């Protein structure tokens, strides 16, 4: 059974940093692109970033480019999101999601999601 | 950016009734690369339909997806109490992948 468990969320001041982690199990982690998707309180879903199976390709939504860094560790089945220079508008629940199994395309629906971790940016 | 517009924003229905949710795309969705998700309060989204009309594993057959091009529909044939939730459509034709703003199906 696929499990995705996020951790690392919390309260941080504007301009601060936070690192999220996602522990994956129940599937061959290195066979899949992985994504982060976020949801601001009471709002809809927004794809944030994804990373290729071997880490050789990375994509970000424009609003986080230059501030967020996605990475992965295939030996320990972990996905990360380093978030720097955080803004109030980054406040959201951040979900880890299993992405495409195809090496040359990351365009896919999200079949499996974690339970999410809340990031609150406020002074 | 590829915009998905869902309607209505809120649908007030009773258990046993039929629900029809709409998702309209700002441009044609190639290869029917459209998915539907259900989300209940405090929970992660749950995949219902992909490829516009293929039900995900374990999804009851009262859920059905249809449509092509720019107009897509999710139909719940007879609402069960556990179906009252927010529903989102998502396109995976073009990067960045985008979601609709959601339709809240509430108990009347």
Measure the CA angle with vertex B4, ends B77 and B32; round to 5°. Answer: 65
Query: Percentage of chain B surpassing pLDDT 90?
Result: 99
- Residue B1, pLDDT > 90, answer no
- Residue B97, pLDDT > 90, answer yes
pLDDT score for A53 = 97
Q: What is the mean pLDDT of residues B54-71?
A: 98
pLDDT score for A74 = 97
> DSSP letters along B42-104, please?
TS--EEEEETTTEEPTT--TTEEEEEEEEEEEEEESS--GGG-SEEEEEE-SSSSPEE---EE
- How far away is chain B from the Cα of A116, in angstroms, using its nearest Cα? 7
Question: Could B43 and A110 be called an inter-chain contact, meaning their C-beta atoms sit closer than 8 Å?
Answer: no
Tokens describing residue B25:
């795309």
Task: Count Cβ–Cβ pairs < 8 Å, chain A vs chain B.
Answer: 49
CA distance A121 to A29: 30
* Residue B27 half-sphere exposure toward CB, CA atoms < 13 A: 7
Q: Which chain B residues contact residue A44 at CB under 8 A?
A: 88, 99-102
Residue A21: Cβ within 10 Å count: 16
Does B101 lie at the interface with A, CB-CB under 8 angstroms?
Answer: yes
Collapsing DSSP to helix, strand or coil, A102 comes out as coil
Question: Could A107 and B100 be called an inter-chain contact, meaning their C-beta atoms sit closer than 8 Å?
Answer: no
Question: Could B45 and A45 be called an inter-chain contact, meaning their C-beta atoms sit closer than 8 Å?
Answer: yes
Query: Residue B99: which of A45, A59, A116 has the nearest Cβ?
Result: A45
Question: Could B44 and A47 be called an inter-chain contact, meaning their C-beta atoms sit closer than 8 Å?
Answer: no
- How far away is chain B from the Cα of A107, in angstroms, using its nearest Cα? 5
Which sign, positive or negative, has the C-alpha torsion A34, A71, A24, A61? negative
């Amino acid at each position: 059974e696929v499990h995705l468990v996020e951790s690392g969320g919390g309260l941080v001041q504007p301009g601060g940093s936070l690192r999220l982690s996602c522990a994956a199990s129940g599937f061959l982690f290195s066979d899949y692109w992985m994504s982060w998707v976020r949801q601001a309180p009471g709002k809809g879903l927004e794809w944030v970033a994804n990373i290729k199976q071997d880490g050789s390709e990375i994509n970000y939504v424009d609003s986080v480019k230059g501030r967020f860094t996605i990475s992965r560790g295939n030996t320990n089945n972990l996905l990360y999101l380093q978030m720097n220079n955080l803004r109030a508008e980054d406040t959201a629940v951040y979900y880890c999601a299993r992405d495409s199994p195809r090496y040359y395309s990351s365009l896919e629906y999200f079949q499996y999601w974690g339970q999410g971790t809340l990031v609150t940016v406020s002074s | 950016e590829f915009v998905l517009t869902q309607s209505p924003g809120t649908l007030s229905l009773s258990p046993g009734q039929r629900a029809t949710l709409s998702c309209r795309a700002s441009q044609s969705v190639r290869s029917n690369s459209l998915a539907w998700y259900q989300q209940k309060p405090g929970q992660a989204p749950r995949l219902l339909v992909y490829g516009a009309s293929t039900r995900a594993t374990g999804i009851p057959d009262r859920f059905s997806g249809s449509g092509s091009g720019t107009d897509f529909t999710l139909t719940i044939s007879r609402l069960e109490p556990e179906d009252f939730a927010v529903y989102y459509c998502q396109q995976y034709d073009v990067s960045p992948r985008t979601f609709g703003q959601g339709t809240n199906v509430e108990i009347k």
